[in-house]
A and B are shown apart, each in its own frame.
Chain A
Amino acid sequence: MTESITVRFVVNGVETTVFADPLTSLQTVLRDQLLLTGTKAGCRQGGCGSCSVLVDGRLELACLRPIAEVEGRRVETIEGLSAGESLHPIQTAFVENFALQCGFCTPGMVMATKALLAENAQPTKDEVIVALSGNICRCTGYEPILAAVEVAASRLADGAQTGASRERR
């Protein structure tokens, strides 16, 4: 077996150290070692988007990145968006627009939305479809999700505060 290594990285703003097989996926470390189970384990082969997280601000699939390659990086998961009961505007928009049913795909959808709106604050519907094309939902038929992203973009453009920023205030 490969010799385990120590990996230091930042998860949702918190300096974190794990000891793991270097080829263990970030997905497994998040869920099984750090108990951040909001990042879902769906297909485990890059096909469903349910393990979408941000690594250094970019959208990635946690099942595809070995933990050795996370050394020194900044990882954001769904748990980092809200502050206690205070939801991020993207999460609020998903709730209000009935953009989830079983909820399994939702953390990935929300993280993909966050990545999109960080780069493109006012996306067209087509741009939203492209941005979420790697995230599969088997409940909603997607239309409520597209509506939620539009609402979230509008609110963030109007200066809605994130849960985290409210917490700091």
Chain B
Amino acid sequence: MVGELAMSVSRYVAPESVEEILAEMKEQEGNYAFMAGGTIVQPLLSSGSWLPHTVIGLWRAPLAAVERENGTIAIGAGANMRDLASHTLPGGLSDAARQVGAPAIRNRATLGGNIAIGRGDLIVPLLALDAWVTLMSPSGTRDTPISEVLDQATGELRDVAEGHLLTRVLVPATESSSAYVAIGRKSYNTPCVASVSVNASFESSTTVLTGLKVAVHGPQAWPVRAEAVEQVLVGRGLDDGAIREAEEAMSSVGDGYSDSVASAWYRASMSRVVLRRALAQLAKGRP
């Protein structure tokens, strides 16, 4: 071996069912880490920078199905970006999946992993869809809004990474108009500088919004619902004045954040740009 696993985890298991995963979780009493597509965890293990006692591989368990039932789409947390991009999912979810990484990454990276890092690109459309997630633990199963799993005020991720198995994501099989727009520093295979997802319902034959959900990543260091933007636009037509006011409202969502990809100023500015482009997409084709 060259440069890998100089130290190592103590145990690796790859259960074939959710029940077996839950049994393993109970036995390990929290001293484990999940690995699905490996795009996040495997490099940490290979470099030795993270060495949990036990790694539970999720690849054998049936967690990747996409099923439609009673107005809801249940998306298995193990579905990868390529799978999601190949479906016609609401709220720009398929568009967002199509823009994650490069093809080889999309062939491996899973929806569950994208959520479990707390900053994944797909959280933006999921927030704008009012998605719920199903969390299983040895003591029970519960469905929770994604806006509670990712605390909107603090960005803290609750229950997904520890103590619970994220098995599926539930989104409404909505026919509403939607758009997802992301900007990076290059065209492909690049981290987002800012991204926005909008879901809208319109008064018949007009651009007057009867309902709107907006989520954005850029003003804050984690994806958030932009309720200030929603309040400005609902009940109004998507004219230039309304869109300008919406951009101003976006400024109140946050001041941006700086990292190696972009400065806070640039992120805040691009958050307004992606909103403008998304609203323009919504208006396009309306009478």
Contact = CB atoms under 8 A, between A and B. Distances in A.
Chains A and B bind each other: yes
A61 B187 CA distance: 21
Interface in B1-17: 1-5, 8-12, 14
Of A41, A44, A49, A64, most B-chain CB atoms within 10 Å:
A64
B104 interface: yes
B232 interface: no
Interface stretch (B41-49, B140-148, B245-253, B266-274): B41-49
Contacts of B11: 2-3
Contacts of A130: 103, 188
A115 B103 contact: yes
A49 B102 contact: yes
A50 B12 CA distance: 27
A21 B42 contact: no
A68 interface: yes
Contacts of B59: 69
A60 interface: yes
Q: Is the interface of B mostly helix, strand, loop or mixed?
A: loop
A58 B105 CA distance: 11
Contacts of B9: 2, 23
Contact of B5 (A23, A31, A41): A23
Interface in B40-62: 42-43, 45-47, 55, 57, 59
Given A2-B12, A28-B2, A44-B47, A23 B107 contact: no
Interface string B100-134: 01111101100000000000000000000000000
Contacts of A41: 2
A133 to B, nearest CB: 4
B103 A131 contact: yes
A45 interface: yes
Contact of A134 (B1, B42, B45, B189): B189
B35 interface: yes
A112 B57 CA distance: 26
Given A68-B12, A130-B188, A46 B105 contact: yes
Interface string B171-185: 000000000000000
A130 B186 CA distance: 12
B104 A52 contact: yes
Of A112, A131, A133, most B-chain CB atoms within 10 Å:
A133
A13 B8 CA distance: 31
B4 A28 contact: yes
A39 to B, nearest CB: 13
B43 A64 contact: yes
Contacts of A1: 5, 8, 10
Nearest to B42: A64
Contacts of A112: 103-104
B92 interface: no
Interface string B216-257: 000000000000000000000000000000000000000000
Given A44-B43, A44-B47, A61-B104, 12 more contacts: A1-B8, A2-B12, A25-B42, A41-B2, A63-B42, A64-B42, A65-B108, A66-B42, A69-B59, A133-B102, A133-B189, A134-B101
